[in-house]
Copies of this chain bind each other. A is one copy, B any other.
Amino acid sequence: VHKQTNSTTSHNHTHCSIDTQTYTKLLDQKKMSLDKNLLSKLAVGDKHGEDSPYFDGWKAYDNNPFHPQRNPQGVIQMGLAENQLCSDLIKEWIKANPHASICTAEGVDGFSDIAVFQDYHGLKQFRQAIAAFMERARGGRVRFEEERVVMSGGATGANETLMFCLADRGDAFLVPTPYYAAFDRDLSWRTGVRIIPVECNSSNNFQVTKQALESAYLNAQETGIKIKGLILANPSNPLGTSLDRETLQTLMDFINDKQIHLVCDEIYAATVFAEPRFISVAEMIQEMDHVNRDLIHIVYSLSKDMGLPGFRVGVVYSYNDAVVTCARRMSSFGLVSSQTQSFLAAMLSDQIFVDNFLKEVSKRVAKRHLIFTEGLKEMGVSCLTSNAGLFVLMDLRQMLKDQTFESEMSLWRIIINKVKINISPGSSFHCSEPGWFRVCFANMDEDTLQTALQRMKHFVLRHRENKKRKSFQENLKLSFSSMTYDEHVRTPTLMSPHSPLVRT
């Protein structure tokens, strides 16, 4: 017996070593097919949407982040829509209000009650403060009822929650393009709700038209897809524009005629720095009595307007009672930390602070926007005219080899790998025209912004000279031949370098 065992082992070993490659391949295939059955379709599929230049750019930044002293040749992150211009005001407020936190000597008496607070309605003073802040962020022209404020894990969670409330798997929502790169995951990934893009283009500054809506609606109907509503980001990411009154009226009449939902993502409501002023759907329904309020839902967040994305404060505000009830039940999956609720309740209840903060946001973002767009203008680069947001949509159509998305990607790779700036190509926002890039300008200090402008200028001027000499593409090929895109983007591991699923 002993001998035979040995012999078997030996035989197997021989067999193994002969066909190692084939054997390993078969084993891998077996393992993979096992894994595919082991996990959910969600887990083995790619609908999470992370395989996109939008997120690849973040990884390139994370692998080689710019620092003025420590890494002056690193990648500058301009793919992150964060407002880092106003945190000094919050820090001042914190120093002046030590009682506002349950983790200070002055506020710790409130610790026990807050730490165990897990009611999904949220702290009453938090709901009230959020409702009041939402009003101030819309110029005080509308009223929000605290009873309708439903917490959510950021706008990410709020958008998903609304989809779970409004649509069944396979149902669809219309979304004008270009739209936020992570909508596919936030709205569709786990809910199974489809996004039907409504194509907009630069001929009218990417404004959505009734014709485009009707056409998308009709097409969907013809293929048997049930359209449950329309999703608007107003102000828009990545356009940086807000909808005018007439367009809003048209869109609201459209959804009211069809009796489908309107989800308004207004997370940049207070990040508006120029005329025309922002008009919320909350303002419009006051004027449009005939619109069925049960169809209207607002997504809000403190990530952009307050610059607090880490605090994960998302809000579903619905005029539909059943949606409020259902969304609140779902909010248990993404409640805001009670520590954060109680701190924000105190800070946002300070109306003098809030009014000053919102004024400063507008002023500082305006200034930053001006510096950046003027800098681009000097080098002959223009942007879509915008009045809102923490970014501009930069027009590099003239720099494309040809007007295709392949050329857009080629240009993007050069910019991230050679110019060392991470910006986001329009394709990642489902833009219908190649050559547009979203560039964020508020997540860095002014010196870094100037460095980015210098890099851009150097690149643009060189590109223009090369073009003049009609040999640019050839030169480019030569000078960048040793630097391919792939070597700069790490393959995913257990710890991918940066988290992509955020609202930026």
Q: Does A35 contact B (CB under 8 A)?
A: yes
Interface residues on A, range: 35 or more
B residues near A502, Cβ cutoff 8 Å: 118-120, 332
Alpha-carbon distance between A449 and B453 when the two chains are bound, in angstroms = 68
Asked if B115 contacts A329 (CB within 8 A), the reply is no
B339 touches A311 (CB 8 A): yes
Q: Which residues of B have CB within 8 Å of A112? A: 84, 87, 91
Q: How far is the CB of A38 from chain B (nearest CB, A)?
A: 7
- In the bound assembly, the distance between CA atoms of A431 and B34 in angstroms comes to 35
User: How far apart are the CA atoms of A326 and B82 in the complex, in Å?
Assistant: 25
Partner of A310, one of B50, B116, B320: B116
Residues of B within 8 Å of A461, CB to CB, are none
Bound CA span A85–B126, Å: 26
Contacts A35-B322, A337-B339; A190 near B164 (Cβ below 8 A): yes
The reply to whether the CB of A323 lies closer than 8 angstroms to some CB of chain B is yes
A105 and B115 contact, Cβ closer than 8 Å, known pairs A153-B334, A339-B337, A495-B121: no
Q: How far is the CA of A334 from the CA of B502 in the complex (A)?
A: 11
Q: Is the CB of A116 within 8 A of B82?
A: yes
Q: Are A310 and B115 in contact (CB under 8 A)?
A: yes
* Bound: A303/B168 CA distance, A: 32
A337 to B499, CA, bound (A): 15
Using an 8 Å CB-CB cutoff, how does the interface string of A73-108 with B read, 1 for contact, 0 for none? 000000000101001001100110010111111001
Within 8 A of B (CB), among A330-360: 330-340, 343
Distance, CA A334 to CA B190, complexed state (A): 13
A165 to B38: give the CA distance in the assembly, Å.
10
Q: Which chain B residues border A154 with CB–CB below 8 Å?
A: 118, 332, 335
Determine the chain B residues whose CB is within 8 A of the CB of A325 once the complex forms. 492, 494, 496
Instruction: Name which of A11-19, A39-47, A272-280, A477-485 contacts chain B.
Output: A39-47
Give A128 Cβ to nearest chain B Cβ, in Å. Answer: 13
Query: Least Cβ distance of A188 to chain B in Å?
Result: 13
Q: Are A118's CB and B337's CB within 8 A?
A: no
Bound Cα distance from A40 to B40, whole angstroms:
23
Q: A324 near B: Cβ within 8 Å?
A: yes
Contact B108 A42 (CB under 8 A): no
With the chains together, A84 CA to B336 CA distance in Å? 21
Check: A166 CB closer than 8 A to any chain B CB.
Answer: yes
A119 and B499 within 8 A (CB): yes
- Tell me the minimal C-beta distance from A8 to chain B in angstroms: 19
Task: Give the complex CA separation of A43 and B318 in angstroms.
Answer: 13
Q: Which residues of B contact A446 (CB under 8 A)?
A: none
- Selected A-B contacts with CB under 8 Å, 10 pairs: A43-B166, A50-B329, A90-B115, A91-B111, A116-B309, A119-B498, A120-B501, A153-B153, A153-B332, A153-B335
- Cβ of A23 under 8 Å from chain B: no
The answer to whether B153 and A39 have CB atoms under 8 Å apart is no
Contact of A501 among B259, B329, B498 (CB under 8 A): B329
Contact among B44, B165, B501 for A322, CB-based, below 8 A: B44
- Docked-complex contact A322 and B43, CB < 8 angstroms: yes
Question: Contact: A165 with B40, CB < 8 Å?
Answer: yes
Docked Cα-Cα span, A259 to B38, in Å, equals 8
Q: Is A396 an interface residue (CB 8 A)?
A: no
Given the interface pairs A147-B495, A154-B335, A156-B332, the reply to whether A343 lies near B103 with Cβ below 8 Å is yes
How far, in Å, is A127 (CB) from chain B's closest CB? 10
A115 touches B87 (CB 8 A): yes
The contact string, 1 if C-beta is below 8 Å from chain B, for chain A 236-261, is 00000000000000000000000101
Alpha-carbon separation in the docked complex, A328 to B443 (Å): 24
